[in-house]
Chains A and B, each alone.
Chain A
Amino acid sequence: MVRYLSDIWFGFISILSSMAITLRYLFTPAITVQYPEEKREMPLRAMNKHYLTVDLDTGKLKCTACDLCAVICPTKCIHIVGQGKGKVRHPVEFDIDHNLCMYCNLCVEVCPFDAITMWTGNYEFGGFSRTDLFIDIRELTAPGFVPSPMTPRLPAAKAAKAPARK
């Protein structure tokens, strides 16, 4: 009998306690971000769409079509066709199939020339069909130059125009 009554009393108090904390939360501000009016600040290393980087001195792509990234990619989503030999070697076709891409960063890590980067801050590249996600060299170089943290000698003017990051 005592157990029965104390059970009821404990139940009642515990329910009031749960309700008290819920009430406190009712008056705390919400934490969600109203996209697309507000956008969250992305950290520097957030992996987004690939871009091929450009050498500041020469203005040309750093990529020499050495195929290292294509070989290491686990899903084989990179296809490169290069042209030329030695120092003038450059890619004419560089396709990344984002339907297959796993965003593992292996292609960025293995590149000896720091020619490709995923730290670009562009995550809004969704499309309406699968072919929209098949990105060719024009799209990969479209913005011209995107600074990567390991890019040497980032001039002050370019840094001012770089997208805001933490």
Chain B
Amino acid sequence: MATRVITRPPTADELMATRASETMEEMYVNMGPQHPSTHGVLRLLLKLDGEIVLDVWPYIGYLHRCHEKIGENREYIQIIPYTDRLDYLASMYNNFGYVHAVEKLAGVTPPERAEYMRVILGELQRIASHLIWLGTFGLDLGNFTIFMWCFREREMVLDLFEQVSGQRLNYSFFRIGGMPMDFPEGWIGDCKAFLEWFKPRLKEYDRLSTDNIIWQKRTQGVGVLTQEDARAYGVSGPMLRSTGIKWDLRRNDPYSIYDRFDFDIPVGERGDVWDRFWVRRREMEESIKIVEQGLRDIPPGPIMAKVPTAIKPPVGHLYSRVESPRGELGEYIVSDGSKRPYRYKVRSPAYVNLSAISAMLPGCLVADAVAVLGSIDIVLGEVDR
């Protein structure tokens, strides 16, 4: 549907009216903040007619932690640990987006080896993030086993990250001008071993997911997002690519050294839940390719450019964007020449993608609501900041 009337949520009187009615035709149901499947604290108010969802209103803000305001009171280097906690399942990429923005604003170029390290760690993080997504999506559909298997692979990626940065989840490993530490000895060999272990695992997941009839029937044709709706809502990332639009910031607006790597951009056809699943699954394979090329080509050299500890970018403002596992992660920084940003805004991809749920969910069954919500791949830390 090209145009959609935005409806307002029900008032208290309307809610009471439906509750008191004898027939249970139209009712309002809360997929409340505490729910095993909303991937965080998200409240979805659904208007149901029997089993069919007529309308949905997402209520967010339960995890708001004043990230942008905190950013105004911290020096540029002190914000880096806070950016981890935005999208806590893809911390490396949050760091990447922020550090890339500040470097552009301050006019700093990181050395070659640091750039390669960033791409390698970023793509490994993409694999880890998609693995969590696949696991929890399977859990939403009822398949517990794929959840555990994905987490096992993710544990290996986290072990690699722990060897590099010392942390398993919130790495804060990027610095303005490069990286704080080099790869430890033997890390590249461990990483290659992980990739060799991981490639057949994807085939195993296929047997439980892609080739399984129940999985196909649950996801094909469900929660369709048309191309016009996708453009209108401003969705990005795998959700956009699943509708058929081939738009990936690593190709269309290259940043860092992504133009040196050879990888495909998987694109879906219909924009349903199956396509979103398939695009992410193929992206994991492409990320493996990028990591292998990075490990092959990484040059020796310094990892940190010459920058002062307290960076003072010149007065100005900048919007810079990167392709995080969830979509276009944008950072808008206004600098007034001091050690702290004047205004620091994060354009979070999950926030925008979640708003498209109003276009996807009406017309689905209640059981599909969980599948569709899972396929958007939201992380509430990013949605609420």
Chain A positions near chain B (C-beta within 8 angstroms) = 7, 10-11, 14-15, 17-18, 20-22, 25, 31, 42-47, 72-74, 102-106, 109-110, 118-119, 166
B interface, size bucket: 20 to 34
Q: Which of B78, B172, B184, B204 contacts A45 (CB 8 A)?
A: B184
Return chain B residues, CB-CB under 8 Å to A73. Answer: 78
Return chain B residues, CB-CB under 8 Å to A119. Answer: 166
B82, B166, B207, B211, most chain A CB atoms within 10 A: B166
Is A74's CB under 8 angstroms from B82's CB? yes
Is B81's CB under 8 angstroms from A102's CB? yes
Is A18's CB under 8 angstroms from B184's CB? no
Please give me the 4 A-B residue pairs with the lowest Cβ-Cβ distance, nearest first: A104-B81, A11-B213, A47-B166, A74-B78
Is B77's CB under 8 angstroms from A45's CB? no
Binding stretch for chain A, among B157-165, B281-289, B315-323, B367-375: B157-165
Is A15's CB under 8 angstroms from B213's CB? yes
Residue of B nearest to A102 (CB): B81
Q: Does B208 contact A (CB under 8 A)?
A: yes
> DSSP class of B's interface residues: helix, strand, loop or mixed?
helix
In angstroms, Cα B159 to Cα A6, docked, is 45
Is B213's CB under 8 angstroms from A104's CB? no
Is B163's CB under 8 angstroms from A18's CB? no
Is A46's CB under 8 angstroms from B204's CB? no
Return chain A residues, CB-CB under 8 Å to B78. Answer: 72-74, 106
Given contacts A102-B172, A106-B78, A166-B163, 20 further A-B contacts (CB under 8 A): A11-B214, A17-B207, A17-B211, A20-B207, A21-B207, A42-B162, A43-B159, A43-B184, A44-B184, A45-B162, A45-B164, A45-B165, A46-B166, A72-B77, A72-B309, A103-B166, A104-B80, A104-B170, A106-B81, A110-B309
Is B81's CB under 8 angstroms from A74's CB? yes
B121 → chain A, closest Cβ, in Å?
Answer: 14
Is A10's CB under 8 angstroms from B152's CB? no
Given known contacts A18-B208, A74-B74, A109-B180, is B82 in contact with A43 (CB within 8 Å)? no
B88 → chain A, closest Cβ, in Å?
Answer: 12
B170 → chain A, closest Cβ, in Å?
Answer: 7
In angstroms, Cα B37 to Cα A164, docked, is 41
In angstroms, Cα B53 to Cα A150, docked, is 60
Return chain B residues, CB-CB under 8 Å to A20. Answer: 207
A22, A43, A44, most chain B CB atoms within 10 A: A43
Given known contacts A17-B207, A109-B180, is B170 in contact with A102 (CB within 8 Å)? yes
Return chain B residues, CB-CB under 8 Å to A15. Answer: 212-214
Return chain A residues, CB-CB under 8 Å to B208. Answer: 18, 21-22
Is A118's CB under 8 angstroms from B172's CB? no
Residue of A nearest to B160 (CB): A43
Q: Does B18 contact A (CB under 8 A)?
A: no
Return chain A residues, CB-CB under 8 Å to B80. Answer: 104
In angstroms, Cα B211 to Cα A155, docked, is 59
Q: Does B145 contact A (CB under 8 A)?
A: yes
